[in-house]
Structure 1
Amino acid sequence: MVPNETYQYLGLLQLLQHFQWMWVGLFAMSDDSGEHFIKEMEPLLSKHGFCAAFADTIINQGGWNTFDNVIDLFSKFHAALIDSTVNTIILYGETTTIIPLTTFLHLGNHELLENTSFRWVWVMTAQIDFALTGLQRTWGLEFFQGTIFFSIHSQELPAFQIFLRNIKPDQTKGDGFLQDFWEQAFVCSLPNPKETSMVDGTCTGEERMESLPGPFFEMHMTGHSYSIYNAVYAIAHALHALYLSHSNRKSIMGGGKRDGLWDLQPWQLHPFLQHVSFNNSAGESVSFNDDKEVEGGFDVMNLVIFPNRSYSRVKIGKVDPDALEGKELIIAEDRILWHSRFNQVVPISLCNDYCPPGSQKRKKEGKKFCCYDCVLCPDGKIANQKDMEDCIKCPEDQYPSKDQDQCILKTVTFLSYEEPLGISLASLAVSFFLITVLVLGIFVKCIDTPIVKANNRNITYALLISLTFCFLSSLLFLGQPTNVTCYLRQSAFGIIFSVAVSCVLAKTVTVVVAFMATKPGSSMRKWMGKRLAYSIISFCFLVQATICMLWLGTSPPFPDLDMQSMATEIVAGCNEGSALMFYSVLGYLGLLSLITLTVAFLARKLPDSFNEAKFITFSMLMFCNVWMSFVPTYLSTKGKSMVAVEIFSILASSAGLLCCIFFPKCYIIILRPELNKREQLMWRKK
């Protein structure tokens, strides 16, 4: 007639989860049912993340046979309840369980009770009823203020309290229970019919049930009483169904020889009970399920104690077996009256305080898993909730806050024209471009002067034009990357620089061949002329162009967002597509530069008047140094700094070629025109 106890376990777990009571104590009666409760409950608590600080059995009132039993009872209570971290205690037992517990609380530990930190939330099962014996009449139940307990679902029956108010001790003759109850409840003696005189302490018979405190007599219909009431009516309906079933009645009664039910065995009523379904006087349906259990759940109640030692049971929720999984417990938290020492704040029952956001739990050695230390999250991770088991990584487009308790959206960044570094580099590139154009204009204007004619002026023009494009190519690296800029910038840089370096190489080889051809009988005379220089430039250009075409045809660069390099920024850049092809372009350019430097170095001792090799050597030394420094610097920088390093390398190497090769000539053309004569150029150093 009571709901399956599994639903009570489920309700207990969901109640603890609702209030986040992770650290609880367990008390159960020392009988088979109590031991079964602890055996079932402890694994359930651990499975759902709760810990039992203690799990003890206590002897009920009937087991106080010796003084040692009493001492054992008091020691168990004391050892468990002095743990100030346990604010929630689950109590499993029966009606008499309250009696030893109340005895301990009133007599066993006055100093403990006077401590302001002494406070508990009692959570009790449906088997317990709040009842005290006559010896405890003056004690009351104030220690159980705010108790939350489960109760078999019940409803108030019409006229039930009227019936109770009209009960008199002489209504039922021969009912010894009612007379004994009356004398104990009202602390009086019923008059002896043989004695006519009334003495002090004699019951008048006019005492009223509603005047008794709640712990001695409950005026409202309790869950236990409601179950008994329904059980009586279920039996009545089953008997009625049996009586109406003539065929069954004859087979059971022996062919109908007897019309009474006196020979009916209890088990013979089971088939009729199984199909019982009726509405009781409270309007609720009563029936049994396939497991022969009454359908229904548990009510969740809150005990409110009044100063006059009476109490009220306030319904604050229920356990509904028919609800969705995980939602079986329904509770109205605002209706709960907590113990006064909690100041109407939801109690906390933890082995230690919650770990704040930004930290994670670390298990204490030798302690239960509910007891832990709090440690800060490692770098790069956050804990955005309290009491997290492990810190979590932010998404790629976010980064941890300073307190590591939330993720902040990263900002997209790139080397723009508006920021100081971008403005500086762009201004530098444009300035060198204009200077190169000016030098080119000077050389075009002085096209017929000896210093311009020397060393193949067409190659000189090609070199100056390639340098203008070198300076302009650096602008492709500024601003937000697009498909066009990503596609062009590395390949354009590689091809233009290969043309510039090949022009320098061609000028150097031309000088070397020219001086070697002046020797008598030299075979180098056939290499004299513009064809050799043009062949060198064309070959060097075609090799680099082929590498770039293969790169762009197989795995071209594309705009990409780098979310890993910078902690707080997303770098908008270009993914090179193929790192192999990118470094092949740089490697070929480096090889070409080293060849040019070597040739120029070997030709540096040729006569000064015709010789550019010294200036080319200086320019190529600067060029090689810049690009040798570029590779490790490029690999060690991140974000938009990588782009700035490459732009600076382009500008520095181009400026080195421009300054070392052309500024000495411009000096002679503009400031020392007297040296710009054939006679001066034909002079040989003695």
Structure 2
Amino acid sequence: MIGGIFSIHYYVSSTEYNYTSQPNAPHCTGSLDFRELRFARTMVFAIKEINNSSELLPGVTLGYQIHDSCASVPVAVKVAFQLANGIEPVFFPNQSCSKSATVHAVVGESGSTPSIAMSRILGPFAIPQVSHYATCACLSDKLQYPTFSRTIPSDYFQAAALARLVKHFGWTWIGAVRSDSDYGNNGMAAFLQAAQAEGICVEYSEAFYRTNPRAKVRRVVEVIRRSTARVIVAFVASGDMLVLLSELEGMALAPLQWIGSESWVTDREMLRFHLFAGAIGFGIPRSVIPGLRDFLLDLEPAQVSHSALLTEFWESAFDCSLGGSQTTAGQKPCDGKQNLRDLHNPYTDTSQLRVSNMVYKAVYAIAHAMQSIICTDRPNSPRHCKTSVPVEPRQVMEHLRKVNFTRNGYKVSFDANGDPVATYELVNWQVKDGHMEFVTVGHYDASAPDGQVFTMKKNITWASGQPQVPVSVCSESCPPGTRKAVQRGRPVCCYDCVPCSEGEISNATDSLDCITCSADYWSNAEKDECVPKPVEFLSFHEVLGIILTSCSLTGACMTIMVAAVFYRHRDTPIVKANNSELSFLLLFSLKLCFLCSLTFIGRPSEWSCMLRHTAFGITFVLCISCVLGKTLVVLMAFRATLPGSNVMKWFGPSQQRLSVVLFTLVQTVICTLWLILSPPFPLRNMKHYKERIILECDLGSESAFWAVLGYIGLLSILCFVLAFLARKLPDNFNEAKFITFSMLIFCAVWITFIPAYVSTPGKFTVAVEIFAILASSFGLIMCIFAPKCFIILFRPEQNTKKHMMGKMPSKSL
């Protein structure tokens, strides 16, 4: 005997307890669920098919008891007790309770919550229960439900499949509704966990039950209407979904993309709601059961009248009464011409047998378990079954987990938790020729290798007939060059797009963090790519470099021109009077000063870095040494005119040359030690500017650099003081006053140079140094040599010995 429990009705009569009389037993009310009736009739068909088979349980007849649970826990518990103990209304205390159960196995229930209640009753009696439609993942716990098995996959797999489906289409902001039952609550909990792992956010998660007050269902509808999510995942039982859709129908809603669980997404009762056009969801694979349609439709009024349930179905389907003259209000008597083949309802629709096949496989699984108990296979002989062997439910339960067979091309087996392999069809609700149809557009197979678990084979029609995938996100995707910043107090899917900082990039959409570019690279303007940092140095090709180069070459040419004028007029008094030898040496050193500024321009190299500072230091000391020598000559010459003075013999040409050599030698020693101990070297400076690289010459030893400048400054100050003292010596052409002006300019330039050099960044540091060199060099040549050249070229009458001796009045310049 096999028991069957189905939710053929969805409501149970309410009973008033007055505690004065025995309450009536609860009974089912409400409209008949034709689909559930088809499930029950499929069980009958499978049992009759097995009884007529010579291969399966030969000589053994299976019986059945089918009950309606009304999808109610109290009724399901009552039926479970009846299947376990019998239906005797009276209990006799002197009888033993150790007798066997009235059934060897149970098929059902359709809902998870009634199945849980039944399993807790049937479990202690070791009666195996095989459900065709209870998908709650909690039922896989064999510690709590040791005798429970099912032919439909667990919601654990469906939840993972739904989360992967949502992620596949890029929906990160969804709404969720569920049945307030074990099926809905456990299924939605598994989905939310899988969705969180996929980075999907849920705007709301609402629960309701079909028996809830209408106000609560309306509140759920209002949440859906006000939400911004355009995709809704509904883990709802089909009976509950009908209640929700009845409230949603007729409301002005924005197009919503419904994602359904297998409970309702393949229920043809829902097809009348055009609100669901474009809905998608995972359903049990469609199947074919040969002979089932004929069995379902081969019902005659005489056969129907023997069953109260079939009578109710017949009268409801044809809107007539089988009671003859005793008709109910508004019903005419059935005239016997009614034919089920003329009807189109969920009972007669066998085009997409999905859950019906689960019932079919459940019955066959129980039959195979029984056969493994009482039948033995012998080689070269027909199967032999011992019909006299008593079969206990516990034995059926033990052998049920081991079954492994194929029926009508569908494999049946169970794992250690009593679950089958999870396979689903992706079903899309499409309107064709004005009618809604279920169209299979993809498959999901949890046992397939990675990358092949989810496959698509057809295009999907979306909500409102849109050809493109709907968009449902809390925030638009962040483009490359930005990163996601979560909004305070909101889910992680709600974020702001914050531009990457300087030196950081994001080269992908929806980047969580920006990537810092390596040391030699910097972010471009769009912040989506690291590009090489521009290298900066004072180049010959830029405007500033061209100007400074021109000034340097101009100064060098000017020096050569002055030297040419002096050489041509070397025998004139003004050239002789100003120590022509030191003048030519000074012009030579000035030329070197002008040219050494060119070493500061261009890409720094190891040799240019060592040359630029040492050449500058030595040439400038040579220059100042010549000026200092000329100043001393002026002072000594005045002393030599005093009576009894013999000072000029101590500062003749040899001494002048020696002084220049000695002064220059000191600077040469300093520069040599600098180059030996810690020479300047080229450096890629990336500290001052983050966005570019400055090529510069590191001083190596800053002490040596400031020693070079300090020595030049010391000689300059000494020269300035001596020239200042000699500025008013009696002479028509006193060179000391010009040297004073030149040293004043020289010192002013270099005193100004120090803070400018320290504070100026990058290539402008080099420009400041070149400017100081050129300015001081031009100051020297203009103050010392310009007046002489003017007299030589334009006032030759003053270029006489008498005039130089002060014996002729001078004219103002």
Q: Distance in 1 between matches of 2:346 and 2:650?
A: 124
Q: Which residue of 2 aligns with 1:121?
A: 257
Partner Cα separation in structure 1 for residue 366 and residue 636 of structure 2:
126
Please say if residues 502 and 523 of structure 2, whose CA atoms lie closer than 8 Å, have aligned partners that are also in contact.
Answer: no
* Alpha carbons 1:149, 1:301 under 8 Å: kept: yes
> Deviation digits for residues 231-268 of structure 1, max 9, x if unmatched?
44544555555557799xxxxxxxx9976554233466
Question: TM-score, normalised to structure 2's length?
Answer: 0.67
Q: Which residue of 1 aligns with 2:13?
A: none
Task: State the shift of 1:336 in Å.
Answer: 1.4
Paired residues of 1:97 and 1:128 also in contact (CA < 8 A): no
**1:462, distance to aligned residue in structure 2 (A):** 2.6
Q: Which amino acid aligns with 1:461?
A: F
Distance change >3 Å, CA 563–CA 57, structure 1 → 2: same
* Pairing partner for 1:140 from 272, 276, 285: 272
Aligned to 1:252: none
Separation in 2 of the partners of 1:469 and 1:177? Answer: 123
Aligned to 1:614, the other structure's residue is in SS state helix
Q: 1:565-584 to 2 correspondence within 5 Å?
A: 565=689, 570=692, 573-576=695-698, 578=700, 580=702, 583-584=705-706
Shift of 1:608: 4.3
- Cα offset for 1:556? 3.4
Alignment partner, residue 217 of structure 2: 73
445, 464, 485: which one aligns with 2:587: 464
Q: Could you tell me how far 1:59 is from its partner in structure 2?
A: 0.8
The code of the aligned residue for 1:344 comes to P
Counterpart residue type for residue 350 of structure 1: V
Aligned equivalents of 2:313, 2:481: Cα separation in 1: 64
Q: Structure 1 residues 636, 306: CA separation in 2 closer, same or farther (over 3 Å shift)?
A: farther
- 2:70 equivalent in structure 1: none
Contact map agreement 2:322 2:333 (CA 8 A) in 1: no
Could you give the per-residue CA deviations for residues 143-163 of structure 1, whole angstroms, max 9, x where no partner exists? Answer: 1122221234x3634xx3664
Aligned partner (choices 736, 742, 747) of residue 624 of structure 1: 747
C-alpha separation between the residues in 1 aligned to 2:173 and 2:617? 69
After TM superposition, the structure 1 = structure 2 runs for residues 160-199 of structure 1, keeping only pairs within 5 Å, are 160=289, 163-164=292-293, 167-170=296-299, 176=307, 179=310, 183=314, 186-188=317-319
Distance (whole Å) between structure 1 residues aligned to residue 206 and residue 462 of structure 2: 25
Deviations 1:115-145 (A, max 9, x none): 5xx1211122334444366xx8xx8031112
SS across alignment from 1:82: helix
Alignment match, 2:670: 546
1:430-441 to structure 2, matched below 5 A, reads 430-441=553-564
> Which residue does the alignment assign to 2:169?
19
- Aligned partner of 1:442 in structure 2 is 565
Query: Would the aligned equivalents of 1:169 and 1:178 in 2 still touch at CA under 8 Å?
Result: no
Instruction: Kindly provide the amino acid, as one letter, of the partner of residue 216 in structure 2.
Output: D
What does the per-residue CA deviation read over 1:314-373, in whole Å, with 9 as the maximum and x for residues that have no partner? 23342645544xx576354971110126x3222122335455666655555554444445
Distance verdict in 2 for CA 1:230–1:510, change over 3 Å: farther
Q: 1:259 to 1:537 in 2, by over 3 A?
A: farther
Picking from 626, 629, 636, the partner of 1:503 is 626
Cα distance between partner residues in 2 of 1:616 and 1:448: 22
User: Does 165-174 or 7-16 show the bigger shift?
Assistant: 165-174
Q: 1:282-431 residue pairs with structure 2 within 5 A?
A: 282=409, 287-289=413-415, 293-306=419-432, 309-318=435-444, 320=446, 322-324=448-450, 330=454, 332=456, 335-340=459-464, 343-354=466-477, 363-373=486-496, 396-401=520-525, 412=535, 414-431=537-554
Q: How many angstroms apart in 2 are the aligned matches of 1:548 and 1:44?
A: 74
Aligned with 2:780 (options 657, 664, 669)? 657
What 5-or-longer segments of structure 2 have no aligned partner?
A: 1-150, 379-383
Q: 2:314 corresponds to which letter in structure 1?
A: E
> What number of residue pairs does the alignment pair up?
645
- Name the CA shift for 1:681/1:583 in 2 (closer, same or farther; >3 Å): same
Aligned to 2:408: 281
Residue 208 (structure 1) aligns with: 341
Alignment of structure 1 residues 36-51 onto 2, 5 Å: 36-42=186-192, 45=195, 48-51=198-201
Asked if structure 2 preserves the Cα contact closer than 8 Å seen for 1:161 and 1:220, the reply is no
- Helix, strand or coil at the partner of 1:485: helix
Code of the residue aligned with 2:421 in structure 1: it is: E
For the 8 Å contact 1:188–1:203, the answer to whether it is kept is no
Q: CA deviation at 1:633?
A: 4.1
1:557 and 2:686 are equivalent in the alignment: no
TM-score, normalising length: structure 1: 0.78
Cα drift, residue 437 of structure 1: 1.5
- Which residue type is aligned with residue 75 of structure 1? R
SS in 1 for 2:471: coil
Aligned to 1:220: 352
Q: 1:58 aligns with which of 208, 213, 218?
A: 208
> Whole-Å Cα distance in 1 between the matches of residues 310 and 236 of structure 2?
28
For 1:551 and 1:618, locate their aligned partners in 2 and report how far apart those are by CA, in whole Å.
34
- The change in CA–CA distance for 1:125 and 1:538 in structure 2 (over 3 A counts) is farther
Evaluate the alpha carbon distance shift between residue 485 and residue 74 of structure 1 in structure 2; reply closer, same or farther with a 3 A threshold: same
Cα distance change, pair 316–441 in 1 and its aligned pair in 2 (3 A):
same
Partner amino acid, structure 1, of 2:549? A
Query: 1:184–1:365: structure 2 CA closer, same or farther, 3 Å change rule?
Result: farther
Contact persistence 1:398–1:409 (CA under 8 A): yes
Q: Say whether the 8 Å CA contact 2:559–2:587 is kept in structure 1.
A: yes
Residue-by-residue CA offset, 1:456-486 (whole Å, 9 max, x unaligned): 4443333222222222223233344445434
- CA-CA distance at 1:99 after TM superposition: 1.3
1:131 aligned partner: 267
* Code of the aligned partner of 1:183: W
Kindly provide the amino acid, as one letter, of the partner of residue 340 in structure 2: E
The answer to whether the 8 Å contact 2:230/2:256 transfers is yes
| Cα distance change, pair 630–215 in 1 and its aligned pair in 2 (3 A) | farther
SS in 1 for 2:176: strand
Residues 1:149 and 2:281 aligned together: yes
Residue 149 of structure 1 aligns to a residue whose secondary structure is strand
C-alpha distance 122-545 of structure 1, shift in aligned 2 (>3 A):
farther
Letter of the structure 1 residue corresponding to residue 783 of structure 2: C
Cα distance in 1 for partners of 2:481, 2:675 equals 47
The one-letter code of the counterpart of 2:547 is S
Q: In terms of Rg, which structure is larger?
A: 2
Counterparts of residues 477-496 of structure 1 (less than 5 Å): 477-496=600-619
1:270-309 CA deviation, whole Å, 9 max, x = no partner?
3x55554445533x65555566543344443322244655
Please tell me whether the aligned partners of residues 557 and 577 of structure 1 are also in contact (alpha carbons under 8 angstroms).
Answer: yes
What is the SS of the residue equivalent to 2:340?
coil
Shift of 1:90: 1.4
- Greater CA deviation, 96-105 or 36-45? 36-45
State the distance in 2 between where 1:203 and 1:650 align: 123
Judge conservation of contact 1:11–1:328 (CA < 8 Å) in 2: no
**Displacement of 1:31 after TM fit?**
1.9
The letter of the residue matching 1:148 is I
Greater CA drift, 463-472 or 285-294 = 285-294
Partner of residue 28, structure 1: 178
- TM superposition shift of 1:89: 1.3
Where do 1:256-271 residues align within 5 Å?
260=388, 262-266=390-394, 269-270=397-398
